[in-house]
Chain A
Amino acid sequence: SAVISQKPSRDICQRGTSLTIQCQVDSQVTMMFWYRQQPGQSLTLIATANQGSEATYESGFVIDKFPISRPNLTFSTLTVSNMSPEDSSIYLCSANPGTGAKDAFFGQGTRLTVV
């Protein structure tokens, strides 16, 4: 299974600022995804990070607020822009190695608090 390193593990940020979260996978993976998990809630898919093209966003999420980069098959970043307290949550990246292995592996998550 793939090993995913995500950083930072936590941060406290001022409202109006932006935070970039990084996700590094130890092997090349076809698909990478970004999820948000609010306390006590389920995982909500933000977007699919596509290598070499723009990310595909789910309903309710937009590129201006959550710009995503995917420069190669092992790395992706998610930026939470112009933060407000409502953005306080855990953000998780996950990777899917490809059609041969269907299950997703998760990074350890980034706990973001916006004050």
Chain B
Amino acid sequence: GENVEQHPSTLSVQEGDSAVIKCTYSDSASNYFPWYKQELGKRPQLIIDIRSNVGEKKDQRIAVTLNKTAKHFSLHITETQPEDSAVYFCAASINTGGFKTIFGAGTRLFVKA
């Protein structure tokens, strides 16, 4: 089955700096890659996603890149703010008649003011 690895497990940056989180996946059949933000005590919320036929996608301060050949995808947050502090999960989804989503281990991001 699919396996998603995520690095780093913890990331601390200064406000205004950029943060990068990297993930790899194992199943070449995965074709949809969402990123979720989870604040303490809350449910995961989708923040951005990318499909397998796209190499890069940007939404304001957040961008994702995908390298299907290498099975790598990354989340980039620019101009970080304290409210970006949370746990971020990458995920890979496989179409099994609907999309089954497998999550990475998570990255705890701290943005220091």
Contact = CB atoms under 8 A, between A and B. Distances in A.
Contacts of B64: none
Contact of B49 (A30, A48, A102): A102
> Closest 5 A-B residue pairs measured CB to CB?
A31-B98, A30-B98, A106-B43, A102-B32, A43-B103
Contacts of B42: 108
Nearest to A98: B98
A109 B49 contact: no
Given A42-B89, A48-B96, A33 B43 contact: no
Interface in B24-78: 32, 34, 42-44, 46, 49, 51
A59 B1 contact: yes
A45 B96 contact: no
B106 A42 contact: yes
Count class of interface residues, chain B: 20 to 34
7 contacts: A31-B99, A31-B100, A48-B100, A102-B51, A105-B46, A108-B42, A108-B43
Size bin of chain A's contact surface? 20 to 34
A42 B42 CA distance: 13
Nearest to A92: B43
B89 A99 contact: no
A42 B6 CA distance: 11
A84 to B, nearest CB: 24
B46 A109 contact: no
A44 B104 CA distance: 9
